[in-house]
Chain A
Amino acid sequence: QKEVEQDPGPLSVPEGAIVSLNCTYSNSAFQYFMWYRQYSRKGPELLMYTYSSGNKEDGRFTAQVDKSSKYISLFIRDSQPSDSATYLCAMPLDSSYKLIFGSGTRLLVRP
């Protein structure tokens, strides 16, 4: 079992839809969670990070963590074609600051 699992998609939604992106993880020691967005042929961009269970909101984005289920989600409200990208979840492996990444979910928002 991989330490971090993420559905590769692609996930295709119409413009304006609410998007739900998810990751599951196996190591209960993970305490810090990040979401990155990567456009084609670009470096990943940090969207959100959180280190507690519950929700964290930033504009149209909401990160949700359920440590009891080892499940994290990223919700995008009022999705736009410009949101079309690959979304990666990430968690620190240990105190070395290395990150474990999910495989990424490719999102396509249709105009």
Chain B
Amino acid sequence: GAVVSQHPSRVICKSGTSVKIECRSLDFQATTMFWYRQFPKKSLMLMATSNEGSKATYEQGVEKDKFLINHASLTLSTLTVTSAHPEDSSFYICSARDSTSGGYEQYFGPGTRLTVT
């Protein structure tokens, strides 16, 4: 149980284009999902909290117009990197919290490696 998928697993795009990453909770409902960014050999950096049916909450320093988040259903959140630049190249990971759980556990997707050329 508690499986989270991400698509695509890897994407290469040209500078200036936009890329959409999907995060799905496969066997549970998630009113809250999270988007992280991870640099090589570094810990997870929380970018934003995605809430179903409402606007995402962004962490300080994260440009909300650049990283668009949509959480349209209880099992799907999307992150769109708009007008991507080489400095946006990174490993993006989503996580989801089971809405029926009384705990704080987050279940992570396998990650998406973005390379902007």
Q: Which residues of A contact B (CB under 8 A)?
A: 32, 34, 36, 41-46, 49, 51, 88, 90, 92, 96-99, 101-104
Contact = CB atoms under 8 A, between A and B. Distances in A.
B89 interface: no
B49 A41 contact: no
B113 A46 contact: no
A41 B113 CA distance: 8
Given A32-B103, A49-B105, A98 B91 contact: no
A34 B43 contact: no
Contacts of B43: 88, 101-104
Interface in B59-117: 91, 93, 95, 97, 103-111, 113
Contact of B49 (A46, A98, A101): A98
Contacts of B109: 43
Interface residues of B, number: 24
Interface string B1-30: 010101000000000000000000000000
Given A32-B103, A41-B113, A43-B93, A101 B108 contact: no
Contacts, number: 54
A97 B110 contact: no
B29 to A, nearest CB: 14
Contact of A49 (B32, B49, B95, B103): B103
Contacts of B56: none
B104 A41 contact: no
Contacts of B105: 34, 46, 49
Nearest to A36: B108
A97 B111 contact: no
Contact of B44 (A32, A46, A51, A101): A101
B91 A41 contact: yes
Nearest to B59: A98
A32 B104 CA distance: 8
Nearest to A4: B43
- A-B pairs, top 4 by smallest CB distance, nearest first, are A43-B108, A92-B104, A43-B111, A103-B43
